[in-house]
Every structure is written in C-alpha cells, then in structure tokens.
Chains A and B, each alone.
Chain A
Amino acid sequence: MENSEHKIVSFKTYGLILCVLIVFTLSSVYVTHLDFGNLGIVVALSIAALKSVLVFGIFMHLLYDKKMYALMVVGVLLVMTIVLIITFLDYGY
C-alpha cells in the first residue's frame, strides 16, 4: 500500500537507455582511436559523464524520485569538483 506511489519504469525505457549507453561506449572507443591526442580523452570523459547522467537519472530513478535525491547527488559532485580544482591550484600554477 505505502508503495503505490512508486513509479514503475517500463522495460522498454530501460532497454532503450541500455542501447544508448552501449552506443556511447563504442563511440568513446572510436573517438580515442582517431588520434586526436589529448582531445580524444577529453571527449571520452565527456561521454563517460553523459553515461553517468543516464545511469543516475533513469537506472537510479533520480528523474522519478523526490528532487531531494538529485540535489544531494549534485551537491556531492560539486564538492568533488571543488576539491579537484583546489588540488590543481597546487600543481597547475
């Protein structure tokens, strides 16, 4: 009874997202083989970020759950980014 408000995500949605994730994976392999040097890994990491957004949003239901969860995830990722930037202030000059 208390779970009646939980959204049931269709198999079709999951299947579609899975296909997109696999296409993203293969394209990141393809891009890094094109010999663009450092640009290749930047693109591959951007694709990875995009993939993680799909996993967070659809597979982990952040899109369907209370906004609070998504906000907290963004907060944690923000903390990580800030720590990364502060760390590189020491190395990158």
Chain B
Amino acid sequence: MVYLALIALIGGIACGIAGLDNTAPVEVIVSHKDLILYILMFLVGISIGLNRGIIKKIKEYHIRIFVIPAGIIAGSLAGGVVSGLLTGLPLNESAAIASGLGWYSLSGVTLGNLAGAQAGSIAFLSNLLREIFSFFSIPLIAKKLNYPSCIAPAGATSEDTTLPMMIRYTDEETVVLSVFNGVICSAAVPFLISFCYNFF
C-alpha cells in the first residue's frame, strides 16, 4: 500500500508539473476529489457498521477522547518553539507556523498575510511535508507504537487526506478517533495561528 501511495503521489506531482492537469482523465479525478472523499467515507462508515460494538467503545472514551487533539496541539507548539530556536525565527512566527497542524493551504495563506511571504512559504511547505510524512509514517507508528498514535503526525489532516492510510493500517475504532481529532484540530487551526502570532 505504501508503494502504491508513493507511486500515486509522485505520479500526481509529475502530472501537475508536466501540465497534464487539464487533460480529461486527470481533470475529472481532481475536480471530483471531494466526491471521491465522500464515497470513501461512506465505505468507511460501512466498515465501521460491520464491526459490531465499536460505537459502544467510542462512547466509553467520554472526555478522554480529547487527549489526542490536546497532545497534538501541545506537541506541535513545543516542536514549533524548538524549530524557532534552531532557525532564529521569532517565537510568535515559529509557534504560528507549527499551529498549521498539517493544514498547509490555510496556514500558508494566513501566515503569508500575517507575517509576510517567507513565513507563509515556510508554513505552506512545512505543513505539506508534515502531511506527506504522515502518509508514510502511519504504517511504522502502527507497527512500533500503537494505533491512536498514528493520528499524531496527521494533525488536522486526520479527517480527510491522511484518513485513507489510517483506514489501511489501523482499525475502525482508531478511524473514528481520527475523524473526531481532525474536526477538533481543523477548528482549532485558525484560532491557534492568530493566538500564537499575536500573544507569544
């Protein structure tokens, strides 16, 4: 699966660079990516439904379901501060860049407006790298640590782009936690970027 994902990613980038994104099959796929995601989520819902007792397990988590997004936000901000110390960027910019939690499109544009083109570019590329890293680290983390920890590198993308890898390498229960985490992190990103940039 990892190899297939890598081939699909590199193939897509190559098509984009070569200008093939306007050809019929590629354009159809790209313009219908939301529909593909919805079909995937419907199929995931079927998988979850076939797994008896999973909803009951999720309910049992109660307030503890928030530990994953809380850990991701705390860890990301700490990592942003460390990166800032190493690169010499101001603390507020560093924390704000890390606050993207993998959501490269939003963080790139927002930081670009707040702190200038360079910070915007770093936010875009670092969060993009985080998303790509998540794809390929999920199988390793699932094997070496545990399933819920796979959600950590994915951050805000755990409800959409990295969800397919979560589906392949973890279980239905973790997929539900992953979607929940993605919703919380995605909602937090705009506030976190603004808060970190203005108050750190």
Partners in one complex: no
Binding site for B on A (CB under 8 A): none
